[in-house]
Every structure is written in structure tokens, then in C-alpha cells.
Amino acid sequence: MAPSIAVENLNPKVLKCEYAVRGEIVIHAQRLQQQLQNQPGSLPFDELCRPPFLFLPSQILYCNIGNPQSLGQQPVTFFREVLALCDHPCLLEKEETKSLFSADAISRAKQILATIPGRATGAYSHSQGIKGLRDAIAAGISTRDGFPANADDIFITDGASPGVHMMMQLLIRNEKDGILCPIPQYPLYSASIALHGGALVPYYLDEKTGWGLEISDLKKQLEDARSKGIDVRALVVINPGNPTGQVLAEDNQCDIVKFCKNEGLILLADEVYQENIYVDNKKFNSFKKIARSMGYGEDDLPLVSFQSVSKGYYGECGKRGGYMEITGFSAPVREQIYKVASVNLCSNITGQILASLVMNPPKVGDESYASYKAEKDGILQSLARRAKALEDAFNNLEGISCNKAEGAMYLFPQIRLPQKAIEAAKAANKAPDAFYALRLLESTGIVVVPGSGFGQVPGTWHIRCTILPQEEKIPAVITRFKAFHEAFMAEYRD
Amino acid sequence: MAPSIAVENLNPKVLKCEYAVRGEIVIHAQRLQQQLQNQPGSLPFDELCRPPFLFLPSQILYCNIGNPQSLGQQPVTFFREVLALCDHPCLLEKEETKSLFSADAISRAKQILATIPGRATGAYSHSQGIKGLRDAIAAGISTRDGFPANADDIFITDGASPGVHMMMQLLIRNEKDGILCPIPQYPLYSASIALHGGALVPYYLDEKTGWGLEISDLKKQLEDARSKGIDVRALVVINPGNPTGQVLAEDNQCDIVKFCKNEGLILLADEVYQENIYVDNKKFNSFKKIARSMGYGEDDLPLVSFQSVSKGYYGECGKRGGYMEITGFSAPVREQIYKVASVNLCSNITGQILASLVMNPPKVGDESYASYKAEKDGILQSLARRAKALEDAFNNLEGISCNKAEGAMYLFPQIRLPQKAIEAAKAANKAPDAFYALRLLESTGIVVVPGSGFGQVPGTWHIRCTILPQEEKIPAVITRFKAFHEAFMAEYRD
């Protein structure tokens, strides 16, 4: 028999899909990490691990992905106390527990267990998630927005990604169904659209105006796609932006909502960075709040908001929790969404509990409030300082310009690469920014993602770098990056 | 604008997909449960909640799905101790912890945390799962099979379902790609094949020989499919069987392995019930063990084994943990599987830890061993007694015959429905077994799944009923079922 499975006879949609944040460069980094383990000192950046350049023991610094706890961020104590108690409810009956856990964590765990049928944290739940936890999430959304939210509209998911996949699966029939996505975009969207065989319809964020979202460009791209026979189903907006870090202004959001209503588009709002705002003159507004403030109700606009426990100040990526809030969909369509959710039975209960906690953290008066507030503020203030330090450092380097990270967890500097570097990249069969990122990795152990993985205006080159290395390591990162960049430019300067 | 999203313009693959175990009957049950909450006493089976018929407080008894802890099964203490400690590692530094947790749970948690980079249980892991946990799973497989297993072959997943979806996504290009599935089958397979747009190629299990799997039927169905231009890519075998409960004999498994090798088929082995065996004359053998015992190596046969923390004696459905072990795939194909896994970043860490625990439970000499063993044996022996009691009860009813549950968690009795019942079902626009199951639900509060959701020989009718109600409730379930069935037959007898 011929080989029953070979790359040539795999699903071509799988072959087409790309996911840069865990792509070639990360696989190469893992190889280098292995090499360092087997032959310490065999790579030039080994010195990074010695004072004053104190990196992680792994010696590779992963700035490719928004994974705060992998770089040393500590989880919020209150959340973890509640999770531990829900994992092992017998603890609640023991006297010693009172000295090990805060009183409000104990009462919250009891309250959560009471909403779980049979207190069974090991049972499949309702396919949308445990009703009591969805009630808590809806209450958190109402408090945030000042408009009501409904537990029936909440689908708790294993992080935001499965929610995005579910919507793409629902909407995309064939390659003539299009989804408007920002460029640059988070590659989950391009990957998911490729896996489901649809068309990514790009609209460009304007780098010169701090990654502004122009309705005129949206309209132009929509009309262009329609003229090619693409049935554009939905608009993806990532706010705060990933990889671009901008926070949308309220009037801009109003225009986007109006645009979706007028054009009959579903608004897919990626709002996973809603807690990550680093500037005083901007604040997060959910698209649902904006739409309701404009007087638009359910019937005016189908809207999906994605939220995740992986981001914010919580950064609980490994717990895989999140939700999507779905409004403005007809009952028969919601039944189909429920059916798809039910094929995977339910999302993990630990993640479900955590999603309810991040939407309902301790309040003034609770025993944990002061420590919770200190942990939260400490993390967010430090992230703001790190973002600013890295942004300034990038802007001080030859040929690099970097917009402010108003929010999210990334900087996306543009690097004007010399022609000689572009030619060297071509000779190495790499995109120029991938070539730059690989050289950076090999010289410094710092892992960033080439802009080509996110999309960028043709002829421009970027990298995405998280702002997540521990604050005390930022000076070393900057020194090292600067040394690499100067050497690179010296080698390739035209 | 026309409505931007309506059932008519959804992905037709989604519309086509069906998932009976959480389908119409379960949604109806949830409605009834709501009704009982709002108007206690408004349904005839309300009396079930009073002695001697002591049902769950919810008054609806969900026997539709293998969800042990939802029906009162308690989690294994050792597993939950380790999870709680890993969720809140600060506990490991406290003196009181020693009196709250067993010593081996403490040392296991420390050992697990030491394998997680930065002890960060809240970080995204490697897309295949944490390397140290995969090492532990591979060691568990080696011990089970007596043949080596490799951590690089393990993909830890959020339960078995995402692994199955991943393989279907990889293999199915269009409606001409076929997957051989048993009939009856677990509807995850039909749902996943429908969602990915492939062809389910059925082979029938023989009810008369205790759901025997005949190679001659496999061959016939394969040739038949090929003659219609179907490219049959893989064979799904569920062992122990779901919904059918049979445990394959070793020589039968050898024949299946040979068949796959000769026909160039990938063997997709659903082995999630590997710990659920209730008869002395049968034992579980993994297909990998069988293949290696036959002298077949990696190059002879692409083989995927699915395992889950949801089943066995552990029954930790809500934790969403599991893995697939992939052998016999070329490096380029494995890279594609890795890529698809990476688009979802990683499975949840709690589930990952639990997957490592169920494959490496306490051993003789460990502090927890005796209590662990007692919990495990208690659950499995009770399940065996419940299976036997329900099987005997079904076989004592007019027109019902039921094969033994040698393994898994279900009985799948055949019900010979009278012609008048079949006509009444037709008038109500229901499949006859769905009609029967709905009547059963409305009369007794017992939720079972109609056989039509799993597939069955045309003209035969079945239901799937889990063996999971608590042992002390089994007599009440039987009494009630008997009363319903006799009344139903009296009403419709020809």
C-alpha cells in the first residue's frame, strides 16, 4: 500500500494555516534551549545568565507570546486560594484551613460550590458553562458596562481561542465567505479563517496615527471584497490592539458600531486586554456598552465579545478560561452555537471558576481586598513602566520607530531594514523581518515574532515583542537588544 | 440590510452535525427541570424524590452521558490533593499543610511543580503539554503495555474529544474522504466527521454475538466505500465499546491491526474506557501493545490511542484532561499536527496534571496507596454490580434484550417496539426510539439517549443508558423503569 498518511494527502486547509507566535522561530528557540541544556556555554548569549544580565535559567527569553507567568509574574493569591478549595472541597471542613486561606476565599469557594449541581467540580457542566458562574460573569459585565447582561448569552470557553474558532466554524461556508480583520492582526484570526477555508478581508491600521482604525479604509476594503464576490460576514476588532497596543477612542467605536449595523456585519470584538490599559487619557469601553449607549438593542447588531483569563493582570494562560458574550443572534442560530459547544461537552471547570472570579474580584471590605488590590496595581503599574522603557529604547535605535503601547502586552516597532539585509534575507530564503528575528534570537536568546506573521503594509518590516520580561531584567534586555541591533546595522548598513 | 446571520446562511456542515447525547431529549429534560424548580409537584415523577424512591434533588436523573461525578461519584482523594497543591503552591511552604494533605500528595505536587518551567501552573505550556508530564504519561503507558512509549509521541488534550477533532481535521479534505466507524458508535465521531465534511463509512457490530467486530464486515464495507470512490483514510475502533460495552478479544485485535496494515488505514483507537472492565474473562489490551506484540513497529502502522481523565474509576469529566499517543506518522505530518495543536496554544494545565496522575497513580508503599486502592476498587466493583443489576432488569422486560456490559459505562438494550408505538412515533414526527425515550423522560424523569443517535441496524430500536446512578438508587430506577415500560407496552401492544 501507498503510505496512508503523508503531507501530500492532508487537509490542504491545515497545510495553509500558519501560526507565527508558535511558528518557526519558536521551534528554533526550543532547539537552542535544548542545545544549551546539553552543552552549556555553547551559545554566545550564555553570558546573559551571569550577573548583571540575569535571565531565566532556561537562558532563552520568550517574548513571542503573551504568557506572563512563564516570565515570573505571580498569580493573584485570592484566585488561587479559591481554585485550590474548589479542587479539594474536603478542605472546607477542616479547622486548619482557616489559618491557611483568607476568609473571603473560603466563603467564595463555598458560594461557588453551592452553585455547582452536587458540588461536583469533576462533572461535565452545561455546555455553555455552569449556570451560577455565568450569572456571576453576567453580573460582572453589568457592573463594568452599566447595562444589563444575561447568563444565557454567556458561553464559557477554554480561553478565547475556542470561541473564535466556533464563530468562524459557524460563519464560514466556503472561500467566498469573508471576515474583515485588522492588519496587523493576531494570527489566531488568519489561522482560524484558513482552517475553516474562508477569506480574510484585510483592513489596515494606520501606523502613522498610532494604529488608527479609519472607517473610510474599512468601507473601501469591504466594497473591494464585495466587488470580488466575497460575502463579508463579520468584522473583527481587537481592542486594546494586538499586536499594536492602541486603545480605541469612544467616537471611533461608535463609528465602528454604526458601520457594522449599516453594512449588516457581525461585530466580533476581541476584548481580552480589557484590563490592560497603561495611559491615563484612554479607557476601555466594551463594544456592547458603546452600542447600548447609542440606543442600539439586540435587534440592531449581532455582537460577540471575547474575554479570557489569560490576559489582564491575572495572566492565567495555563488555566484556559474565558467566555464569549453573544447578543443579537436569533434563537435558531443560538441553538446551532449551543450544538457546536455541546460536541465538546463543556470547557474545563477550573477555567470556568476562574472566569467568574476575574469578572468578580474581591470588593472593598473583603478580607482579601487590600492584598488583591496591591497585587493587581503592582502588576499593571509595572507593565506600564516596562512598556514605556522598551518603547523608549526602541525609539532610540537607528531605523526603528515604535508607537506607544496604550494597552495590551506588546510593542510592534517598525524596523527600516537596510537593502543589504533584505538581500541577505532573500538569499537565506527568509522574510526580512524573520531573518532579523532569527539573528536576534541567535545573538541574544530573545525570542520575538516577525511582523510578517501578523501582516503589515507591504515593504514595511516589524517585530512583535511582549512587554512581559520581569522589570529587573528590562535593562539587560535593552542593553543586549541595542548591542545586537547596532552590530546588525553595522554589518548590513547600505 | 438582510439579516446578516440566519440559520439559512450558516455553515451547512454545522447544520448537518448532530450530537445526540446532548441533543433534543437533554434540552427537553433541562426544561422539565426548570419547570420542577418553578412549580414543584407539577410532574408525575415528583414522587421519585420521596422515600423510598430517593432521586437527586434535581428530580431529573441524567443517564444520557458518562458523567459519574454528576450522579454522586466522589473524586479520588489523592488526585484532588495534588491538584489543590499545584493550584496554590504557597501551601507547600506551610506547616499546617502536612496535617491536611497526605505525604505522597505533597511530594508528588513538588515533583510536578519541579518539571514545570518556573513552577508556573498559570503559564501556557508547550503545545503538546508540559514535557515532564508527558514523560510521566509515557512511563505509565510503558508500565501498562510492557513496550516503550515516548513523550514526543504524546499530545495532551482537553479530554479525548479535541484529539479526535484534530485527527479528523487533519485527514478530511472533502466528502470523498471516509472514516470507518462502528455502528453503533459514539456520536462524537459522526459529529466530528460531519463538521469536517467527510464521509462516515459504517461497519456494523453484531448484536447477536455480543457486539462482535467481524473483519469480513469491515472488509465488505471498505470495498463498498472504495467502489463508490471514497478514499477511506482511517478506522475508528472503540474498545471497550461505547455505547455497546463489549471488550475486544486479543485475537480479534490482532486481526484488526493486520487489516489496517494491509489496507493502509490509520487506526484510531478510542481507549478511554481502558480501566472500566467488569468481567473476569476479559482484559484491556491497548492496540499499540497488540501491534508491538505482533512485531509491528512504527513503520508498519500509523496508530493513535485516545485516553481521557473523564472515564475509568477517576471520572473527572469536568477537568477536561486526556492525551493522544501518536505513533507511525512521518516527521512532516507530525509537524502539521503540532501546528494545529499550537493554534490552541495548549490544553489546560489542571487537566494536564490529572492526565499524568491517572497514568501514574499511587504505588504500593506510598502513604495514599491503601485509601487510593479502596476508592478505586469500591468504584469499579460497584459499577460492575450496577451494570449487572440493570442488565438483568432490562432482560426481564417484555420485548427488551440487553447484552452484557463487559466494560465502559453503558447498556444498549434493544427494544422491540410494537407497530402501534411505531405509528404513534411517526404521527409525532419522532424516531420510534426517540418517542420511547421522551415518554420515559416525561413519566419517570430518567434521561436516556435513543439508539438512533448512535446508529443501529435499520428497523431495530435501542436506548443507551449509563450504569452510573448511585448504587442505592438502582432499585428505584429499575422499579420505575419497569412500571413505565409495562404501561407503555399495555398502551401500544399490537
* Per-residue pLDDT reduced to its tens digit, A178-200: 999 999 999 999 999 999 999 99
Residue B469 identity: P
Q: Out of B46-50, B319-323, B352-356, B400-404, pick the least confident.
A: B46-50
Q: Encode chain B in three state secondary structure.
A: CCCCCCHHHCCHHHHHCCCHHHCHHHHHHHHHHHHHHHCCCCCHHHHHHCCCCCCCCCCCEECCCCCHHHHCCCCCHHHHHHHHHHHCHHHHHCCCHHHHCCHHHHHHHHHHHHHCHHHCCCCCCCCCCCHHHHHHHHHHHHHHHCCCCCHHHEEEECCHHHHHHHHHHHHCCCCCEEEEEEECCCHHHHHHHHHCCCEEEEEECEHHHCCECCHHHHHHHHHHHHHCCCEEEEEEEECCCCCCCCCCCHHHHHHHHHHHHHHCCEEEEECCCCCCECCCCCCCCCHHHHHHHCCCCHHHCCEEEEEECCCCCCCCHHHCCEEEEEECCCHHHHHHHHHHHHHCCCCCHHHHHHHHHHCCCCCCCCCCHHHHHHHHHHHHHHHHHHHHHHHHHHHCCCCEECCCCCECCEECCEECCCHHHHHHHHHCCCCHHHHHHHHHHHHHCEECEEHHHCCCCCCCCEEEEECCCCHHHHHHHHHHHHHHHHHHHHHHCC
What pLDDT score was predicted for residue A262?
Answer: 95
Confidence grade of residue A117 (pLDDT, cut at 50, 70, 90)? confident
> Using DSSP, how many helices (H) and how many strands (E) does chain A show?
17, 14
CATH code assigned at B282: 3.40.640.10
d(CA A200, CA A175) in angstroms, rounded, equals 9
| Structure-block grid coordinates of residue A441 | 534570537
Q: Give one DSSP letter per residue of A235-246, joined into a string.
A: EEEESS-TTT--
What pLDDT score was predicted for residue B24?
Answer: 83
Q: What are the tens digits of pLDDT across the range A239-251?
A: 999 999 999 999 9
Q: Beta strand B303-308 with B322-327: parallel, antiparallel or unpaired? A: antiparallel
Do B446 and B388 reside in the same domain of the chain? yes
Taking an 8 Å cut-off on Cβ atoms, the answer to whether B171 and A19 are in contact is no
Residues of A with Cβ-Cβ distance to B2 under 8 angstroms: 264
User: Within a domain: residue A108?
Assistant: no
Residues of A with Cβ-Cβ distance to B69 under 8 angstroms: 118, 120-123
What pLDDT score was predicted for residue B211?
Answer: 94
Do B194 and B288 reside in the same domain of the chain? yes
Do A268 and A130 reside in the same domain of the chain? yes
Please calculate the CA angle A453-A454-A460 and round it to the nearest 5 degrees. 90
Confidence grade of residue B57 (pLDDT, cut at 50, 70, 90)? very low
pLDDT of B120 above 60: yes
Taking an 8 Å cut-off on Cβ atoms, the answer to whether B349 and A4 are in contact is no
Do B135 and B110 reside in the same domain of the chain? no
User: Within a domain: residue A105?
Assistant: no
B310 CB-side CA count, 13 A: 33
Count of domains observed in chain B = 3
User: Within a domain: residue B486?
Assistant: yes
Do B306 and B242 reside in the same domain of the chain? yes
User: Within a domain: residue A2?
Assistant: no
Taking an 8 Å cut-off on Cβ atoms, the answer to whether A122 and B96 are in contact is no
What pLDDT score was predicted for residue A327?
Answer: 97
Residues of A with Cβ-Cβ distance to B72 under 8 angstroms: 118, 120
What pLDDT score was predicted for residue B454?
Answer: 92
d(CA B447, CA A228) in angstroms, rounded, equals 50
- Stretch A464-486: mean pLDDT: 93
Give chain A's mean pLDDT.
93
pLDDT of A52 above 50: no
Do A201 and A270 reside in the same domain of the chain? yes
Confidence grade of residue B42 (pLDDT, cut at 50, 70, 90)? confident
Picking from B51, B86, B114, the residue at the C-terminal end of a domain is: B114
Contact with chain A for residue B12, Cβ under 8 A: yes
What pLDDT score was predicted for residue B52?
Answer: 43
pLDDT of B321 above 60: yes
Contact with chain B for residue A332, Cβ under 8 A: yes
What pLDDT score was predicted for residue A46?
Answer: 58
pLDDT of A45 above 80: no
Classify A201 as helix, strand or coil.
strand
Residue B127 identity: S
Taking an 8 Å cut-off on Cβ atoms, the answer to whether B342 and A19 are in contact is yes
CATH code assigned at A396: 3.90.1150.10
User: Within a domain: residue B437?
Assistant: yes
Residues of A with Cβ-Cβ distance to B80 under 8 angstroms: 87-88, 90
What pLDDT score was predicted for residue B39?
Answer: 82
Contact with chain A for residue B470, Cβ under 8 A: no
Residues of A with Cβ-Cβ distance to B11 under 8 angstroms: 169-173, 196
d(CA B467, CA B380) in angstroms, rounded, equals 11
pLDDT of A279 above 70: yes
Contact with chain A for residue B233, Cβ under 8 A: yes
User: Within a domain: residue B364?
Assistant: no
Do A276 and A226 reside in the same domain of the chain? yes
Cis peptide before A44 (omega within 30 of 0): no
What pLDDT score was predicted for residue A54?
Answer: 44
Do B443 and B351 reside in the same domain of the chain? no
- Closest-CA distance, B478 to chain A, in angstroms, reads 23
DSSP symbol at A91: G
Residues of A with Cβ-Cβ distance to B90 under 8 angstroms: 77, 80
What pLDDT score was predicted for residue B3?
Answer: 57
- Stretch B210-231: mean pLDDT: 95
Contact with chain A for residue B263, Cβ under 8 A: yes
Contact with chain B for residue A100, Cβ under 8 A: yes
Q: Out of A474-478, B84-88, B128-132, pick the least confident.
A: A474-478
Residue of B nearest to A232 (CA): B4
What pLDDT score was predicted for residue A3?
Answer: 57
Q: What are the tens digits of pLDDT across the range A294-336?
A: 999 999 999 999 999 999 999 999 999 999 999 999 999 999 9
β-bridge mates for residue B266, sequence order: B234
User: Within a domain: residue B367?
Assistant: no
Do A383 and A320 reside in the same domain of the chain? no
Contact with chain A for residue B84, Cβ under 8 A: yes
Q: What are the tens digits of pLDDT across the range B149-206?
A: 999 999 999 999 999 999 999 999 999 999 999 999 999 999 999 999 999 999 999 9
From B11, B70, B265, residue closest to A171, measured CB to CB: B11
Residue B109 belongs to what domain range?
78-114
d(CA B183, CA B60) in angstroms, rounded, equals 29
| Structure-block grid coordinates of residue A349 | 471547570
Do A224 and A305 reside in the same domain of the chain? yes
What pLDDT score was predicted for residue B33?
Answer: 85
Which among A7, A9, A11 is the top mutation candidate for probing chain B, defined by the most B β-carbons within 10 Å of its own β-carbon? A11
Picking from B298, B328, B358, the residue at the C-terminal end of a domain is: B358
B300: how many CB neighbours lie within 10 A of its CB?
Answer: 17
Taking an 8 Å cut-off on Cβ atoms, the answer to whether B124 and A317 are in contact is yes
From B122, B196, B319, residue closest to A122, measured CB to CB: B319
Q: What part of A 368-387 touches B (C-beta under 8 Å)?
A: none
Contact with chain B for residue A34, Cβ under 8 A: no
Q: What are the tens digits of pLDDT across the range B234-258?
A: 999 999 999 999 999 999 999 999 9
- Closest-CA distance, A266 to chain B, in angstroms, reads 7
**Number of A–B residue contacts, CB under 8 Å:** 288
Q: Beta strand B177-183 with B231-238: parallel, antiparallel or unpaired? A: parallel
- Closest-CA distance, B33 to chain A, in angstroms, reads 12
Residue B242 near residue B187 (C-beta atoms within 8 A):
no
From B80, B117, B302, residue closest to A70, measured CB to CB: B117
Picking from B87, B114, B141, the residue at the C-terminal end of a domain is: B114
Do B105 and B121 reside in the same domain of the chain? no
pLDDT of B85 above 80: yes
Do A391 and A487 reside in the same domain of the chain? yes
CATH code assigned at B99: 1.10.287.1970
Taking an 8 Å cut-off on Cβ atoms, the answer to whether B348 and A77 are in contact is no
Q: What are the tens digits of pLDDT across the range A138-181?
A: 999 999 999 999 999 999 999 999 999 999 999 999 999 999 99
β-bridge mates for residue A464, sequence order: A449
Q: What is the largest CA-CA distance in chain B?
A: 72
User: Within a domain: residue A477?
Assistant: yes
Residue A349 near residue B319 (C-beta atoms within 8 A):
yes
Residue A52, judged by CB atoms within 10 A of its CB (0-12, 13-18, 19+), counts as exposed
Q: What are the tens digits of pLDDT across the range B255-307?
A: 999 999 999 999 999 999 999 999 999 999 999 999 999 999 999 999 999 99
